[in-house]
Structure formats: structure tokens, C-alpha cells
């Protein structure tokens, strides 16, 4: 039961407040008590563009990520460290190479991925903050560190070289660490997983533990809970890896708390799940059960605490996600957050 809380520090620094029944509280503790046991946190290389918006504070560089990791550890929660290998958002449509690496040749870029990955883990080891899970890349449908690492026209060779460098760094680190992180590789949407997994597998990428998938009903071709169950089962059987949904969300309202246009609108629904607090609860409960029925290991909710505040993300001020959070517009925890404490059945 994971929650991506990467935005929390910036939200709080810009006036956001979290509550349970009107009482202010720590969102990490609030969500833990609602049933979360894992915190996912993104890591960007040198996000100076974020610093330019925030008086020099980059939030999602290593120092900012350490701040989040400490808060998770204080609550006794596990951590999934999501390394983007970019200075900014990495997703299926954008995988920008860090500026510090932009003029490197492929072999040098591969060495940099290795050195950066193991360097981050060694720094965290000194602080007793080694994560339980490490993601090598974020939504890497078309590779990472473009243009050199782009998986274009079915050619996965360069991308696989970079993935294996990151994987090797984690395994080498683990050889001398008491905490040995599991490795997630991450692709967006079930309909794209098989081509991607076959592509990297054909180039020798085999040594990972978890196949992580983003599943948003807005963009997915898998429209039913049975489809989710069948997709998870097929991936588990075909590739022999644990399977998780490492990003998901569902709206609890179609209203807007600020002037920043929301990503999910009133049209972005799944059949049988109206946009309401109850609809959000039932969707997340049923999605979790579908993943478990397929033999999957769980789900991670993307940015359930990105409530509206004075935060400027470069595209708008406030939040484009506040109707997808697990808190209402006043910052109070929604009853739907307790889907994480629902009674689930586990296949034998």
C-alpha cells in the first residue's frame, strides 16, 4: 500500500495544511494510519528550474529527497526511490538527459548512470536511509536519457545498456549493504508492457525484481477490473517477476479548488465508478483486489497529498491534481483513503 508523497514538502512550504477531522497533522502519519506502508519519492538529478521558482530550493534533488526519506523513516514506512535520470519529469513522452551529462557518448553516459546510482545509495547508507526498493527510471516506455538512450523503432540496445548499468549499481551496492534494495523497472499502461518487456529482455535486461506499471483509467486500454486482473496474471506468468501498479489515481470530485486546470475532468471515469468520494473508494478497493487476484503485490497511489496551495510547478499555481487526492479541498483526509485498510482476499 504505497503513496507517492514527493510533493508534500513543497506543498507545506507554500501554505498547504493536512488534517484529520479538522485537526492538523503530519500527512505521512495520517496516511500511515489510513493504511499506507510504503512511500514512493522521485529523485531528479539537478532540477535547477525548480530552484528558480523557489528561491534556490530544488526539492527533488538528492538533498530534497533526503528530507522526504527521513519523514518516511520517522513513521516506520518502507521507501521506493524513483530515480528519473533527468533534471525534470521523465515519462513516455519526455526523457531528457541531465544537463550535466548532455555531451557524453553512450559509454560515458552508461558509466554516469552507474556512478550516480551507486553514489546516491552510498550517501543514503551513511544516513541510514537506504530504500527498500529502487526504480531504475520512470515510465521508460521509449527508453531514458534521450536521444542516446531512446528506444526508437524497436531498437532497445542503448536503452538496455543504461538500464543494466543502473541495475548493476544497485546489485554492487547491495553486496556490501545490510539492506538490499529490490529493483523496479517501470512502464506506463498495461497495453504497452509486453512490447517493452520483450524489447529490453531481448537485449539482456533480466536482473530485476518487480515489473512496475502505471495504470490510469484516463489513458488505459484496460477498462475493467477483470482486465486488470488478467493483465497482471499474464505479466507475472510471462516474465516471472513480481508485478505492482506503481502509479494510479482516481478522482473524488470534478470540481476545482483553484485556477489551475485539473488533469482529470468529469469525463474521465471508469464504468461503474462515478466521480465521488464513494466512487473513488470503491474504484481503489476493487483495483487493489484485482491486482491481488492476478498475483500482484500491491499498488502505489500517485501524489495523494498534492492539495492546492501556493505551490508553482512551472505550469500553474496550486494543483492540477487536487480532485484526485485523498484529502478534500480543506486538507481533511477523505474517507476513501481507508481503502488501504479494507479486508482483501489473497489467492492461495
Q: What is the set of active-site residues?
A: 139, 247
| 94 contacts: CB under 8 Å, gap ≥ 6 | 88, 146
**What cell does 207 get?**
536482473
Count of C-beta atoms within a 10 Å radius of residue 94: 12
Residue with cell 480543506: 330
| Cβ–Cβ under 8 Å, residues 257 and 319 | yes
Task: Determine contact, residues 216/191, Cβ cutoff 8 Å.
Answer: no
The C-alpha cell 481503502 sits at 339
Q: How far is CA 126 from CA 42, 119, 123, 200, in A?
A: 20, 11, 5, 33
Residues 288, 292, 295, 296, Cα dihedral to 10°: 30
* Dist CA 66 CA 52 (whole Å): 20
Nearest to 187 by CA among 178, 198, 179, 196: 196
Q: Of 227, 299, 224, 306, which is closest to residue 263 (Cα–Cα)? A: 306
- What distance in Å separates the CA atoms of residue 302 and residue 3, rounded to the nearest whole number? 6
The count of other CB atoms within 10 Å of the CB of residue 298 is 18
Residue closest to 264 by CA, chosen among 246, 280, 281: 280
User: Please, are residues 66 and 129 in contact by the beta-carbon 8 Å criterion?
Assistant: yes
| CA pair distance 37, 288, nearest whole angstrom | 14
Is the peptide bond preceding residue 147 cis, with omega within 30 degrees of 0? yes
Q: Are 95 and 192 in contact (CB under 8 A)?
A: no
Amino acid at each position: 500500500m504505497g503513496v507517492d508523497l514527493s510533493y508534500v514538502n513543497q506543498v507545506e512550504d507554500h501554505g498547504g495544511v493536512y488534517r484529520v477531522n479538522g485537526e492538523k497533522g503530519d500527512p505521512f502519519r495520517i496516511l500511515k494510519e489510513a493504511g499506507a506502508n510504503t512511500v514512493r519519492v522521485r529523485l531528479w538529478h539537478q532540477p535547477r528550474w525548480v530552484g528558480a521558482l523557489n528561491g534556490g530550493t530544488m526539492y527533488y534533488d538528492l538533498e530534497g529527497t533526503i528530507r522526504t526519506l527521513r519523514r518516511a523513516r520517522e513513521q516506520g514506512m518502507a521507501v521506493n526511490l524513483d530515480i528519473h535520470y533527468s533534471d525534470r519529469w521523465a515519462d513516455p513522452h519526455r526523457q531528457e538527459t541531465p544537463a550535466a551529462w548532455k555531451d557524453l557518448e553512450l559509454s560515458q553516459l552508461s558509466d554516469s548512470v552507474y556512478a550516480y546510482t551507486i553514489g546516491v545509495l552510498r550517501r543514503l547508507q551513511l544516513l541510514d536511509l537506504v530504500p527498500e526498493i529502487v526504480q531504475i527510471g520512470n515510465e521508460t516506455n521509449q527508453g531514458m536519457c534521450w536521444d542516446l538512450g531512446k528506444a526508437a523503432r524497436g531498437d532497445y540496445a542503448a536503452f538496455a545498456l543504461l538500464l543494466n548499468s543502473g541495475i548493476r549499481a544497485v546489485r554492487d551496492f547491495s553486496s556490501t549493504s545490510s539492506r538490499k534494495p529490490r529493483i523496479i523497472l517501470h512502464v506506463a499502461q498495461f497495453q504497452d508492457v509486453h512490447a517493452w518487456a520483450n524489447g529490453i529482455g531481448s537485449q539482456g535486461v533480466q536482473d530485476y525484481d518487480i515489473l512496475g506499471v502505471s495504470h490510469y483509467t484516463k489513458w488505459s486500454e484496460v477498462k475493467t477490473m477483470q482486465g486488470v486482473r488478467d493483465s497482471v496474471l499474464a505479466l507475472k506468468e510471462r516474465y516471472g517477476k513480481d508485478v505492482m501498479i506503481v502509479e494510479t489515481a482516481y478522482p473524488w470530485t470534478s470540481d476545482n479548488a483553484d485556477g489551475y486546470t485539473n488533469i482529470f475532468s468529469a469525463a474521465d471515469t471508469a464504468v461503474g465508478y462515478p466521480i465521488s468520494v464513494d466512487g473513488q473508494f470503491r474504484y481503489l478497493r476493487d483495483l487493489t483486489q484485482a491486482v491481488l487476484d492476478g498475483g500482484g503485490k500491491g499498488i502505489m497511489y500517485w501524489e495523494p497529498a498534492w492539495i492546492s496551495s501556493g505551490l508553482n510547478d512551472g505550469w500553474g499555481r496550486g494543483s492540477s491534481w487536487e480532485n484526485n487526492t485523498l484529502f478534500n479541498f480543506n486538507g481533511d483526509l477523505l474517507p476513501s483513503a481507508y481503502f488501504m485498510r479494507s479486508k482483501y482476499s489473497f489467492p492461495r
